[in-house]
Structure 1
Amino acid sequence: MVLDKLTNAARYTSMHPLFEKAFRYLQETDLMNVPTGVHEIEGKDLFAIISEAKGNPKQKAKLEVHRKYIDIQYVISGTDHMGWKDLAQCSQPNDPYTEERDAAFFPDKTSNWFDVPAGSYTIFYPDDAHAAMATEEVLRKVVLKIAVR
């Protein structure tokens, strides 16, 4: 798991062949004016999901993991409150993994909470159980989905 500011993106471009293109998208796109929804950048290997919504109270946050995609979650406006837990420390999922949604959800709670303000992002790998949108604030954010290679 990584938490950093977009100004430091160059530190991470060597971590995956598509990270440079992903960070370039974040840096060069007028994200405040892109419509919400899914936007292909490089087919199914790299795409963006733009959302603008009110989050949920921390008590309702669900830990999730993905197998096929790495998430780069960038906050455009507002402050996201996120949780993290090592997948190896999670119990069995209460909502098992499905290929269609590329997600499993866990009943576990995390004590690892942190704020992600506008201009910052997280990188979650398949072994990073994470809970996002644990805020009652309205957030605008983009989740870049990068195919695991």
Structure 2
Amino acid sequence: MYFANISISEKYNYLEEKFRKAYKWLAETDISALGVGSYPIDGDVVVANVQEYTTYPASEASFETHEKFFDIQYMASGREMFGVCKREGLKVKERIEENDLIFYQEPEFSGSVLLEEGDLIVVAPEDAHKPRCVAGAPCQVKKVVVKVAV
């Protein structure tokens, strides 16, 4: 999925070599055999982070963004609702500089995408996102978040 405003539609090249390396790694790696942790794909430019968790109500989650990285969020198993909205105009709740994380107050309007096994979504620094949200009933998820340096 590609989600952007026309004003930045040509700002990033989602088929640039670093993205292609990430997509190739996701397609060719047996993620089910990997444990939770970080796996360098291309030095510190492209790094895969394998996560396992149980989804929870959207009311317990916050929208977030990153300054230095794109996220390619790939659902290896399970399902979740993935909140999306524009970063512009959001009110900052908390900044954690060392983790490249900014959390926001809940916006008045936002959308969501259902991510199921095999799905991925790419979010840029301009895209706020709220991962880990329950889709129906809570379920166990195995996800890979590939961090691609801006």
**How do residues 1-149 of structure 1 correspond to structure 2 at under 5 angstroms?**
2=2, 15-91=15-91, 93-98=92-97, 100-109=98-107, 110-135=109-134, 136-148=138-150
Question: How far is the alpha carbon of 1:113 from its aligned partner?
Answer: 1.6
Distance 1:14 1:141 in 2: 20
Question: How far is the alpha carbon of 1:97 from its aligned partner?
Answer: 4.7
Question: How far is the alpha carbon of 1:14 from its aligned partner?
Answer: 5.0
Deviations 1:9-68 (A, max 9, x none): xxxx85333011100000100011111111111111000000111122111121000010
Q: Percent identity of the aligned residues?
A: 29
Distance 2:32 2:87 in 1: 33
Query: When the two structures are aligned, how many residues end up with a matched partner?
Result: 138
Question: How far is the alpha carbon of 1:111 from its aligned partner?
Answer: 3.1
Name 1:6's counterpart in structure 2. none
Aligned residue identity for 2:102:
A
Distance 1:96 1:21 in 2: 30
Distance 1:118 1:14 in 2: 22
Question: How far is the alpha carbon of 1:96 from its aligned partner?
Answer: 2.2
SS of equivalent residue, structure 2 residue 84: strand
Distance 1:143 1:71 in 2: 6
Distance 1:64 1:15 in 2: 24
Q: Provide the aligned C-alpha RMSD in A.
A: 1.8
Regions of 4+ moved over 4 Å: none
Aligned residue identity for 1:103:
L
Moved more, 133-142 or 123-132: 133-142
Unaligned 5+ runs, structure 1: 4-12
Question: How far is the alpha carbon of 1:89 from its aligned partner?
Answer: 2.9
Unaligned 5+ runs, structure 2: 4-12
